Amino acid sequence: MTDSLLSVRDLQVKFRLPAGAMTAVDGVSFDVKPGEVLGIVGESGSGKSQILFSLMGLLASNGTARGTASFQGQDLLALGPMALDSIRGVTLSMIFQDPMTSLNPYMRIGDQLAEGLRVHKGLSKAEAWKAAVAMLDRVRIPDAARRARHYPHEFSGGMRQRVMIAMALLVRPALLLADEPTTALDVTIQAQVLDLMAELGREIGTAIILVTHDLGVVARLCDRVIVLYGGRVMEEGEAEVLFASPAHPYSQGLLAATPRLEDALTKRLGTIPGTPRSGGAMLPGCPFAPRCTLKIPICDATRPPLIAIAPERLVSCHLTGAT
Amino acid sequence: MLRFVGRRLWEGTLTLAALVTLTFFVMRLAPGGPFSKNRKISPEVLEHIKAAFHLDEPVWQQFARYVWGLLHFDFGPSTRFRDYSVGDLIASGLPYSLTIGFWAIVVAAMVGVALGIAGALRRNTPTDYVAGILGVVGIAVPIFVIGPLFQVVFALKLNWLPVGGSDQGWRSLVMPVLVLSLPNIAYISRLTRGSMIETMRENYVRTARAKGIGARRTLMKHTLKGALLPVIAYLGPSTAGIITGSILIETVFAVPGIGRHFVDAALNRDYPLVMGITLLYGALLIVFNILTDLVRGWLDPRARGNG
């Protein structure tokens, strides 16, 4: 896959904790092609957000990332802070989970947007401000010229996330990392914000990695999907194919646990028994084995390799070979 | 903004009125009187002295007389320092206390904030530990221990500075200012360090880092403002306390400021002087609180608009 924009290989993210080392991401590999939207789904604690933080060099101070992440010819994981700053906010941007706290409360919205352009593109204050206002207009902030002079607390949550989107895309990055961008928002505006992000991404030609636990969001926006559990890739494939025929027992469970309008009155919502594993030592076998209803003895003993069952379709399950 | 200041000044005036009333009557409730510590004098003479200070009148009449005087900026005569009015005493002592206090707070703010930032940026390194130890020492060791120590080293051994007094211009100021600033340096540096560490964990600082604007700009434009707000909230009221003098500093370094009056006047039951000093401190506290709120409003847009 030489046409990849981002190529992550064997990514490991570990945290030093008082109780010992905790592995959040365990040998994850994937590719992002220019302009595509890749979804990473998983439950809380599956390590999905940490993948994004490690790419941005924003891991907490007790976290370390190993492996390689080749982005436009440079390994993001090997760069120092100075070199990283010529990529972050230039060709690689990020949108965070909580728009209420992710904007600087002491700075005008327009200044926060203009800042990146002034630092990275050397625009004058007036030019950068003009571009910021234009971008606010594009994310449909009404009366953008006046609103740019306002502070974050004068914006609603949905508007703040649109401001974050504007800020991230203003520099026209090649890749946008979106960490559960709508989790903190009211359900009624989630779709609106996501559509806006995807639409602008398409216009600019930005590829997006969308991390979420919401399968509906993935189905709506993503070209390809990676299903993550316990810091490992369970399954990967084109969104349509994966949703139509999930191959991994975990993906099957996830889909069964998604509410559907037509079943709302007749069927009980499916659940996956047990609770997601959090921290602790890595299991020798499949991380999902303790909760898997189809478990066979080998699942606890050895890790299933990630194998291709079709083009662009990878599954990590001992049962896949057997069936 | 003008309305805000106006309203706060009006509230401050009411506070001062309450302060005057309360202090006046609480003072009279305390046992003893201005002349009970004097050597034995005949009852007739005492009567005369009391009459001279209107202490023979009923308390409510004394109060009315005092308030009437205040409205004409007359703080009354000192019962202890004969021939001096309270206004004279404050006017002669305040400049010394003000000068020492002002420089002490300037030094404390600059050094304390710098140490705090350095400690937060180099957390758990030797820099941080040294700043931390200095902080504990500064808070824990009292002025009456550090003061004489400085006098022995810098005045008597090295002969760089005068031991005390106020007759050698800036050279007389150096030691009182330094010693007075030490506990404040310590406190401000701990406050700054904690607040910095907290702010560096804020999501908006992470957003700034994600913008790739560099560590320096992230610190200057994003982290610092939020981190310094608690420091400013502390600086305001404590400035009022520091510039009204410290009895310890003024005693150790023989400075003729007003800090010593705080304690002496109360012990001597010098009613008018106690009132005058309390009023001065109260007024300064109110003014600095208003100033603090103005600065906070200027720094933090969320603190605006309710005034």
Q: In this predicted model, what pLDDT tens digit does every residue of A138-162 receive, in sequence order?
A: 999 999 999 999 999 999 999 999 9
CA distance A222 to chain B (A): 24
Residue B259 · residue B94 · CB < 8 Å: no
CA distance A18 to chain B (A): 16
pLDDT of residue B171: 87
- Is residue B220 over pLDDT 60? yes
CB atoms within 10 A of CB A260: 11
Interface residue A310 vs chain B (CB under 8 A): no
Can you tell me the ipTM of this complex? 0.89
A313-315/A232-238 β-pairing = antiparallel
The amino acid that residue B232 corresponds to is I
Interface residue A151 vs chain B (CB under 8 A): yes
- Phi/psi for B231 (5° steps) reads -65, -40
Which residue range is the domain that position A193 belongs to? 6-99+173-322
Q: Do A88 and B204 touch (CB under 8 A)?
A: no
pLDDT of residue A202: 92
Domains in chain B (CATH in brackets) are 86-303 (1.10.3720.10)
Interface residue A122 vs chain B (CB under 8 A): no
Domain membership of residue A183 (yes or no) is yes
User: pLDDT tens digit string along A53-91?
Assistant: 999 999 988 999 999 999 998 999 999 888 999 999 999
Nearest CA to A163 out of A148, A149, A177 is that of A148
Domain membership of residue A124 (yes or no) is no
SS3 A310: strand
- Phi/psi for B98 (5° steps) reads -60, -50
Q: How many CA within 13 A on the CB side of residue B105? A: 20
SS3 A291: helix
pLDDT of residue B264: 84
User: pLDDT tens digit string along A16-47?
Assistant: 988 888 889 999 999 999 999 999 998 887 88
Picking from B212, B221, B226, the nearest residue to A88 by CB comes out as B212
- Phi/psi for A5 (5° steps) reads -80, -45
Q: Give the C-alpha separation, B278 to B284, whole Å.
A: 10
Picking from B206, B215, B225, the nearest residue to A81 by CB comes out as B215
Taking residues B271-293, report their average pLDDT: 91
Domain membership of residue A274 (yes or no) is yes
The two three-digit tokens of residue B224, written as one number: 């610092």
The two three-digit tokens of residue A35, written as one number: 């302009």
Burial zone of A15 (CB within 10 Å; 0-12 exposed, 13-18 middle, 19+ buried) = middle
Question: Number of Cβ pairs closer than 8 Å across A and B?
Answer: 74
- Is residue A280 over pLDDT 60? no
Q: Do B210 and A89 touch (CB under 8 A)?
A: yes
Domain membership of residue A76 (yes or no) is yes
Residue A239 · residue A70 · CB < 8 Å: no
Give percent helix, percent strand, percent coil of chain A, each to the nearest 5. 35, 25, 40
- Is residue B282 over pLDDT 50? yes
pLDDT of residue B305: 62
Q: Do B302 and A105 touch (CB under 8 A)?
A: yes
Q: Do B210 and A58 touch (CB under 8 A)?
A: yes
Q: Do A104 and B207 touch (CB under 8 A)?
A: yes
Interface residue A119 vs chain B (CB under 8 A): yes
pLDDT band at A281 (very low <50, low <70, confident <90, very high): low
Residues 6+ positions from B164 with CB-CB distance below 8 Å? B151, B172, B175, B252, B253, B254, B255
Mapping DSSP onto H, E and C, the string for A202-271 reads HHHCCEEEEEECCHHHHHHHCCEEEEEECCEEEEEEEHHHHHHCCCCHHHHHHHHCCCCHHHCCCCCCCC
Domain membership of residue A139 (yes or no) is no
Share of chain A above pLDDT 90, in %: 59
Residues 6+ positions from B70 with CB-CB distance below 8 Å? B20, B279
- Is residue A312 over pLDDT 50? yes
Domain membership of residue A236 (yes or no) is yes
pLDDT of residue A1: 45
pLDDT of residue B136: 86
pLDDT band at A277 (very low <50, low <70, confident <90, very high): low
User: pLDDT tens digit string along B103-124?
Assistant: 999 999 999 999 999 999 988 8
Nearest CA to A278 out of A11, A5, A14, A24 is that of A24
Sheet of strand A207-212, all strands in order from the earlier edge strand to the far edge: A92-95, A175-179, A207-212, A37-41, A224-229, A232-238, A313-315, A307-310
pLDDT band at B307 (very low <50, low <70, confident <90, very high): very low
Mean pLDDT of chain A: 89
Contacts of B302 in chain A (CB under 8 A): 105, 151, 153
Q: Give the C-alpha separation, B82 to B104, whole Å.
A: 32
Mean pLDDT of chain B: 89
Contacts of B300 in chain A (CB under 8 A): 105-106
Domain count, chain A: 1
Residues 6+ positions from B22 with CB-CB distance below 8 Å? none
**Domain containing residue A48: CATH number:** 3.40.50.300
- Is residue B235 over pLDDT 70? yes
Q: Do B211 and A84 touch (CB under 8 A)?
A: no
Q: Give the C-alpha separation, A6 to A33, whole Å.
A: 7
Q: Do B217 and A119 touch (CB under 8 A)?
A: yes
CA distance A53 to chain B (A): 10
pLDDT of residue A2: 53
pLDDT of residue B260: 84
pLDDT of residue A191: 87
pLDDT of residue A279: 57
Domain membership of residue A147 (yes or no) is no
CA distance B229 to chain A (A): 11
